[in-house]
């Protein structure tokens, strides 16, 4: 049985023999002596333990002591409020449901974040009554929508000017030697206005259709001789994943402005 | 279909080098000026996944910090002669050395132009600085806590009202000296646009990987920066 009268006298610094000692007389110490754990709030701030192993599902804090096992299960959510190593990067801002908790080690089990939670990251624990029902689901849907938006190909254009090195040498007009993934080249347009009487230009298109393969010729080379009454020439291209190249071989010093459109 | 110029982030853009060639000694600009950058050294064409620094097959460049950089002739980059609002951005994976590392610049001396560079300051740690040059002087600001050997989206928005804001990973960060950044003076055809080295092309080489240096003659907003970050971070797994 605790002698609460003695505690109160020491809290009040009753006399020289009865002075306040924080380790035994603070309200927190008395609560601990009575076996009363810290209260569980509807919102709690947490710090990931410096010794925590990075994980998407197993998070260990160091400031939520004395709470009973499984107190948070299913009714509480964890949000990463700061990625300490890379502020702003995932999983910062993400919210996941808590499915397990071991009080002695402050070890949380949660539905998986999209990236590892790491030592010293800052978190908060939120009771479901404080957040929109299904917020985790909404968060996942928003992420999925964003992934779709990012996957949309964007019609893009660039161009330049090629000055021919000379016959027997192919100069690159347009090349994407190592695409990041599937993309959709549409059209290369070459301006042959500079091609004069007696001069010649040959256009070739090559594709790579497997990882590590060679750029292989597709279709017959197209040859243009002399002055072109309609100087803009279109070379149509097809979807590709591993590489595409359009070259021109022409009389030395002939200048060819060009433009390409592709979706990437 | 989504058009490049219909995306708000690309409005007015004057330099955008996505490094899609994957081979060769030149790289093309998606912005309307169609700048052509020459690879000097040259830097090596690489891919993120193959280098073990992210999940995608995105093409990037590796610069050695000693001799390698990109350049566009001064006469072709008059549209990068900012004298008011402008913004600069790039994805970088820097390997810090004792020297400053230029991300991109249009002159680095007290004469004209601007420069954005990283510097691992012995006291303050890794900084991203923006310098604008005036005749016989310059103004400079910086943001701190840039990380060695990690992908990060870095850049600056500079507003005509003398303010500049440093951005890291789509968010504004504390910008020391960011309230007194004077307008740069136009360089004309005398100075190249350099990516990865400072004026003179002999010092302050950038070491590490780099992707998609970009420039706008306007101030990108916080929302613009966040949009860039959210659209592109997946390439690097950050």
ipTM confidence: 0.93
Chain A, nearest residue to B15 by Cα: A158
Each residue's pLDDT tens digit in chain A (264 positions)? 557 677 777 777 778 788 888 777 776 677 666 655 556 778 899 999 999 999 999 999 998 888 889 999 999 999 999 999 888 888 998 899 999 999 999 999 999 888 899 999 999 999 988 876 666 677 778 878 888 887 889 999 999 999 999 999 999 999 999 999 999 999 999 999 999 999 999 999 999 999 999 999 999 999 999 999 999 999 999 999 999 999 999 999 999 999 999 999
Q: What local confidence, expressed as pLDDT, does residue A39 receive?
A: 64
A133 CB-near residues (< 8 Å, 6+ apart): none
**Nearest C-alpha of chain A: how many angstroms from B208?**
19
Length of chain A: 264
Taking an 8 Å cut-off on Cβ atoms, the answer to whether A88 and B169 are in contact is: yes
Distance, in Å, from the CA atom of B163 to the CA atom of B160, rounded to the nearest integer, reads: 7
Chain B, nearest residue to A143 by Cα: B230
- Assign B143 a pLDDT band (cuts: 50, 70, 90): very high
Distance, in Å, from the CA atom of B132 to the CA atom of B113, rounded to the nearest integer, reads: 6
Taking an 8 Å cut-off on Cβ atoms, the answer to whether B47 and A178 are in contact is: yes
Chain A hits for B230, Cβ within 8 Å: 146
A119 CB-near residues (< 8 Å, 6+ apart): A48, A49, A50, A51, A52, A54, A84
Chain A, nearest residue to B19 by Cα: A176
Distance, in Å, from the CA atom of B206 to the CA atom of B69, rounded to the nearest integer, reads: 8
Q: What local confidence, expressed as pLDDT, does residue B164 receive?
A: 97
Q: What is the mean predicted confidence (pLDDT) over B149-170?
A: 94
The SS3 call for residue B196 is coil
Helix (H) or strand (E) holding B213: strand B207-216
Share of chain B above pLDDT 90, in %: 93
Instruction: Output the six-digit token pair for A258.
Output: 């060009």
Taking an 8 Å cut-off on Cβ atoms, the answer to whether B20 and A264 are in contact is: yes
Distance, in Å, from the CA atom of A260 to the CA atom of A110, rounded to the nearest integer, reads: 49
Are B161 and B219 a contacting pair, CB within 8 Å?
Answer: no
Q: What local confidence, expressed as pLDDT, does residue A213 receive?
A: 96
Look at residue B47 and tell me whether its pLDDT is greater than 90. yes
E strands within A29-153?
A: 43-47, 58-60, 76-82, 95-102, 107-110, 122-127
**Nearest C-alpha of chain A: how many angstroms from B222?**
13
Least CB–CB distance from B20: residue in A89, A157, A176: A176
Are B12 and B216 a contacting pair, CB within 8 Å?
Answer: yes
Taking an 8 Å cut-off on Cβ atoms, the answer to whether A179 and B22 are in contact is: yes
Distance, in Å, from the CA atom of A34 to the CA atom of B79, rounded to the nearest integer, reads: 74
Tell how strand B164-168 and strand B171-173 pair up.
antiparallel
Tell how strand B2-3 and strand A154-163 pair up.
parallel
Taking an 8 Å cut-off on Cβ atoms, the answer to whether B30 and A181 are in contact is: no
CATH of domain A40-143: 2.40.10
Residue ranges per structural domain of chain A: 40-143, 155-263
A155 CB-near residues (< 8 Å, 6+ apart): A186, A261, A262, A263, B1, B2, B3, B4
Chain A hits for B9, Cβ within 8 Å: none
Helix (H) or strand (E) holding A32: helix A27-33
Look at residue B158 and tell me whether its pLDDT is greater than 80. yes
C-alpha to C-alpha distances, B183 to A236, B78, B116, B151, B178, nearest whole angstrom? 46, 16, 14, 30, 13
Chain A hits for B24, Cβ within 8 Å: 172, 175, 177
Distance, in Å, from the CA atom of B162 to the CA atom of B159, rounded to the nearest integer, reads: 6
Are B38 and B26 a contacting pair, CB within 8 Å?
Answer: yes
Least CB–CB distance from A177: residue in B23, B26, B234: B23
Does the fold of domain A155-263 match that of domain A40-143? no
Interface test with B, best of A54, A56, A89 (most B CBs within 10 A): A89
Phi, psi (degrees; rounded to nearest 5) at A32? -65, -40
The C-alpha angle B70, B109, B181, rounded to 5 degrees, equals 100
For chain B, domains (ranges, CATH) are 9-235 (2.60.120.200)
| N-terminal to C-terminal alpha carbon distance within chain A | 75
Chain B, nearest residue to A259 by Cα: B34
Q: What local confidence, expressed as pLDDT, does residue A133 receive?
A: 60
Q: Quick: pLDDT tens for B77-90.
A: 999 999 999 999 99
C-alpha to C-alpha distances, A83 to A48, A93, B24, B144, B147, nearest whole angstrom? 10, 9, 39, 17, 14
Chain A, nearest residue to B35 by Cα: A160
- For residue B80, count CB atoms less than 10 angstroms from its CB and return exposed for 0-12, middle for 13-18, buried for 19 or more: buried
Least CB–CB distance from A89: residue in B56, B169, B235: B169
The DSSP bridge partners found for residue A240 are A183
Handedness of CA A56, A60, A66, A69 (dihedral sign): positive
Chain B hits for A94, Cβ within 8 Å: none
Are B43 and B196 a contacting pair, CB within 8 Å?
Answer: yes
Q: Quick: pLDDT tens for B96-121.
A: 988 999 999 999 889 999 999 999 99
Buried-exposed string A121-136: b where 16+ CB fall within 10 A, e elsewhere: bbbebbebeebeeebb
Please name the fold of domain A155-263: Jelly Rolls (2.60.120)
Q: What local confidence, expressed as pLDDT, does residue A31 receive?
A: 64
Distance, in Å, from the CA atom of B108 to the CA atom of B191, rounded to the nearest integer, reads: 10
Q: What local confidence, expressed as pLDDT, does residue A32 receive?
A: 63
Distance, in Å, from the CA atom of B196 to the CA atom of B202, rounded to the nearest integer, reads: 11
**Nearest C-alpha of chain A: how many angstroms from B57?**
5
A127 CB-near residues (< 8 Å, 6+ apart): A41, A42, A43, A75, A76, A77
């Amino acid at each position: 049985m605790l002698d609460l009268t003695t505690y109160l006298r020491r809290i009040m610094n009753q006399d020289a023999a009865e002075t306040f000692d924080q380790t035994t007389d603070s309200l927190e110490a008395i609560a601990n002596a009575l076996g009363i754990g810290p209260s569980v709030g509807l919102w709690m701030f947490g710090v990931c333990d410096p010794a925590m192993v990075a994980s998407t599902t197993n998070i260990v804090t160091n400031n939520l002591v004395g709470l009973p096992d499984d107190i948070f299960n299913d009714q509480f959510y964890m949000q990463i409020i700061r990625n300490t190593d890379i502020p702003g990067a995932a999983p910062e801002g993400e919210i996941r449901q808590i499915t397990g908790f071991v009080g002695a080690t402050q070890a949380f089990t949660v539905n998986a974040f999209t990236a590892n939670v790491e030592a010293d990251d800052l978190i908060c624990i939120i009771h479901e009554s404080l957040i929109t029902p299904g917020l985790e689901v909404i968060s996942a849907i928003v992420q999925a929508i964003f992934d779709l938006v990012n996957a949309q190909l964007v019609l893009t254009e660039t161009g330049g000017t090629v000055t021919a090195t000379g016959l027997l040498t192919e100069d690159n007009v347009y090349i994407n030697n190592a695409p990041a993934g599937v993309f959709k080249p549409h059209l290369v347009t070459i301006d042959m206005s500079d091609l004069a009487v007696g001069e010649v230009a040959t256009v070739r298109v090559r594709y790579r259709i497997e990882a590590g393969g060679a750029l292989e010729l597709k279709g017959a080379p197209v040859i243009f001789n002399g002055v072109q009454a309609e100087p803009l020439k279109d070379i149509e291209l097809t979807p590709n994943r591993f590489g595409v190249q359009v070259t021109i071989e022409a009389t030395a010093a002939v200048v060819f402005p060009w433009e390409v459109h592709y979706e990437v | 279909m989504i058009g490049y110029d219909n995306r708000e982030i690309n409005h007015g853009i004057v330099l955008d080098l996505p490094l899609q060639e994957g081979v060769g000694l030149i790289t093309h600009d998606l912005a309307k000026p169609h700048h052509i950058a020459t690879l000097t050294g040259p830097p090596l064409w690489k891919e993120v996944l193959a280098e073990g620094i992210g999940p995608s097959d995105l093409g990037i460049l590796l610069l050695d910090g000693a001799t390698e950089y990109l350049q566009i002739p001064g006469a072709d980059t008059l549209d990068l002669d900012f004298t008011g609002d402008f913004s600069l951005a790039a994805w970088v994976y820097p390997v810090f050395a004792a020297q400053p590392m230029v991300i991109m610049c249009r002159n680095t001396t007290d004469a004209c132009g601007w420069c954005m560079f990283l510097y691992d300051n012995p006291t303050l740690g890794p900084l991203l600085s923006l310098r604008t040059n005036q005749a016989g002087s310059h103004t400079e600001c910086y943001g701190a806590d840039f990380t060695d050997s990690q992908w990060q989206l870095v850049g600056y928005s500079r507003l005509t009202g003398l303010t500049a804001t440093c951005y890291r990973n789509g968010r504004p960060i504390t910008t020391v000296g960011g309230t007194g950044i004077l307008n740069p003076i136009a360089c004309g055809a005398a100075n190249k646009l350099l990516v990865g080295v400072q004026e003179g092309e002999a010092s302050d080489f950038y070491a590490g990987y780099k992707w998609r240096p970009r420039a706008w003659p306007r101030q990108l907003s916080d929302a613009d920066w966040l949009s860039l970050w959210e659209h592109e971070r997946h390439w690097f797994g950050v």
